[in-house]
Structure 1
Amino acid sequence: MGFSVASTHMLFFIGVIAISAGVIVSFNAFIDETRGAMTDKKTFITDQLRTQIEVINVRYSGGISYIYAKNIGDRLMNTNCLNVFVDGMYITDANLDILNASSGTPRTEWNLEETLEFQATHAISGGTHTAKVVTCNGISDEYSFST
């Protein structure tokens, strides 16, 4: 009787240790995934806080809206994922040119304190309109103008 009780207790103890090890491994994977997600979220929020733009002027002439926007944040931005909207309508890449406002050269990066000229080809009627520029991480600014 003494040996069978001791061996039963030993088997239960080994079983509890094995289950505990499995739980610890599972929680460790969960903690690693959570840590990675928190790091990604922190990076995204930091980028948003460092990004700031200002649409400073818009004029319309000959079927083209000339939208002038300045990077007033403290980070360099890529222009390949900027979005432009006029009266809520998305301007496709085929109808959009992004140029340095001073030199007129095409831009793929938006430097600090640089003003870009977005040339959006589209037709609008007379009246009051709104142009909006949205950055890669969702920061935006808009400007109302009349034609």
Structure 2
Amino acid sequence: MKIKNTVTLLLFLTSFSFFAQNNKTDEKREKIKAFKVSFLTTELELTPTEAEKFWPIYNAYDDRQFELRHLKMKTYLNKLDDDNLSSMTEKESVALLSQMEITDKELFQLKEKYMSNLKKVLSAKKILKLKKSEDDFNRKLLQQYRDKAAKD
């Protein structure tokens, strides 16, 4: 479980480095998204009917999740650098913590809605296979990132 959380955290943090460069960011994100679609399509073995219903649900969830994590969390992380944190008042700290909790709740509610929608389209077994495939994809992406960093 700790490895899974570490991988998630690393992917989350590396996504910020990808998004530091705006134009290249969209390009990289689109490449990663295309790679992910290809990977998941192969792994899930969706029927045409399942795929037709699954992809709009998945893409809407993925886009909203990205928006919440990238836009909101980036703002929080900028405020949490050492200089800002040490000069932050208690009231500002409470407000920031509250904003972070609200974002966490939004992410949780988004995940609940996503799961509810998936259950209408896919079997429980395929949903579990999706989760495993996403984890496999994230590990593969992280490994590629590490391999590239080692070469540079």
Length-normalised TM-score, structure 2: 0.26
Structure with the bigger RCO (C-alpha within 8 Å, sep 6+) is: 2
Q: Which has the higher Rg, Structure 1 or Structure 2?
A: 1
